[in-house]
Amino acid sequence: MVQISRRSLLQKAGAITITATGIAGCLGQGGGSLDSVTVAYVPIYPNMQHYVMEQEDYYEDVPADVTIERFSSGPSVVKAFASGDVDVALFGITPAMVLVDKGTDAGILAANSRNGFKVMGTTELVDRYEQEGPAMFERFEQEHGRKIRFGAPPDGSVPDIVLRYWIQEDLDVGEMESAINKSKVPPAKAVQTIQSGDIDATIIQEPFATIIAQDDGFGELVWSGDILEDHPVTVLFANQQVLDDSEVAQSLVEQHMGATEFTADSPDEAAAHAASIIGSGVSENLATAAMDSQASDFFSDPHAITDQAATMGEFVANVGNIEESVAAENLFAFDPYDAIQE
């Protein structure tokens, strides 16, 4: 992981002096104020607000010293969060469910993105799906002697859950394991894997869906917004110490909302910020092109994703990542967002 110190609170013009224990990310003995907050993120396109907040210095307005840490995956953030090394995270909603289910005192402050995937496949599959619909799976197996090979992130991840919902609920073609052959393919490797012919299809976020669509041999089967309308992808998640400090919690939400507005008003600049931080072959031109995708839907209101979060939680429980779907009152921390709306 990469650690970046954003600033010293005491050097900030007009900053408020905060009494604290001096232990990073911990409650002060005086008034329950935080002197520092560690923000973790996974470098994926759906975490757009973070890139804007970092590059536009929005974190400077948070009344605590902000340190940013980069992690390669959701599971790695879950481990760090559970151990107390991370106070705030921008990552998929399913890791947030796992942490709450395991007893971590934390909650979702804001949503980041929704409807953020496309099911991409070979032109053969696209044509078959247009002509045959759900029957595509069985007829493909009859003709090829094997099931359709799908590449997707691990069981219980957000794209895995949306894929399961598509196959099992939307198309009603049976359990996913019986309908397809699924292999674990990280998003960054999905383009290479499908182009090499190792898989026939994938459920993928931007900007990788845009890359695949640019190849004449592939196309879009379905957008996830048509599978499970308004389903959440990534969220802004905070531990109890942050939630107990209303000033810090509200400020984080305010900066997040500002970043959402910035993204809507200046999409090309936001895309450039994302490209500069994500790296890994995500060029500025590609990030900008991906802004036009249906799968690029950025917002902040946590209330807008509660129903679909409950639906997704049932599937996360079914694959064994959590005991049962996490109740909204345990998963979300609405107060900071609601206080801003008043």
The pLDDT tens digits for 153-166 are: 999 999 999 999 99
Q: Which helix (H) or strand (E) holds 91?
A: strand 88-92
Residue 308 has pLDDT above 50, yes or no: yes
Please indicate, yes or no, whether residues 145 and 235 belong to a single structural domain of this protein: no
Residue 15 has pLDDT above 50, yes or no: no
Please indicate, yes or no, whether residues 109 and 239 belong to a single structural domain of this protein: yes
Please answer whether residues 263 and 80 qualify as being in contact, where contact means their C-beta atoms are separated by less than 8 angstroms. Answer: no
State the pLDDT at residue 2.
44
* Termini Cα distance of the chain: 38
The pLDDT tens digits for 110-160 are: 999 999 999 999 999 999 999 999 999 999 999 999 999 999 999 999 999
Please indicate, yes or no, whether residues 27 and 77 belong to a single structural domain of this protein: yes
Please indicate, yes or no, whether residues 97 and 246 belong to a single structural domain of this protein: yes
Please indicate, yes or no, whether residues 95 and 13 belong to a single structural domain of this protein: yes
The encoded tokens of residue 21 equal 């224990």
Please answer whether residues 255 and 59 qualify as being in contact, where contact means their C-beta atoms are separated by less than 8 angstroms. Answer: yes
What share of the chain has pLDDT > 70, as a percent? 91
DSSP 265-285: H-HHHHHHHHHHHH-TT--HH
The encoded tokens of residue 20 equal 């604290």
Closest CA to 100 of 317, 305, 246, 249: 317
pLDDT (average), residues 98-102: 96
Residue 299 has pLDDT above 60, yes or no: yes
- CB neighbour list of residue 1: distance below 8 Å, 6 or more residues apart: 40, 69, 70, 71, 72, 76, 80
Domain with 91, as residue range(s), is: 2-115+231-341
Q: Which of 227, 256, 280 is a domain's end point?
A: 227
Q: How far apart are CA 42 and CA 233, in angstroms?
A: 12
pLDDT band at 3 (very low <50, low <70, confident <90, very high): very low
Locus of tokens 């839907």: 297
Q: What's the number of domains the chain is made of?
A: 2
Backbone angles phi, psi at 37, to 5 degrees: -140, 135
Please answer whether residues 325 and 310 qualify as being in contact, where contact means their C-beta atoms are separated by less than 8 angstroms. Answer: yes
Beta bridge partners of 219: 121
Residue 190, domain CATH: 3.40.190.10
Please indicate, yes or no, whether residues 244 and 199 belong to a single structural domain of this protein: no
State the pLDDT at residue 302.
98
Closest CA to 243 of 333, 339, 329: 333
pLDDT band at 32 (very low <50, low <70, confident <90, very high): low
Q: How far apart are CA 315 and CA 250, in angstroms?
A: 31
The encoded tokens of residue 43 equal 């470098």
Predicted structure pTM score: 0.88
Quick one: DSSP state of residue 119? E
Q: How far apart are CA 118 and CA 222, in angstroms?
A: 6
Q: Which of 192, 227, 262 is a domain's end point?
A: 227
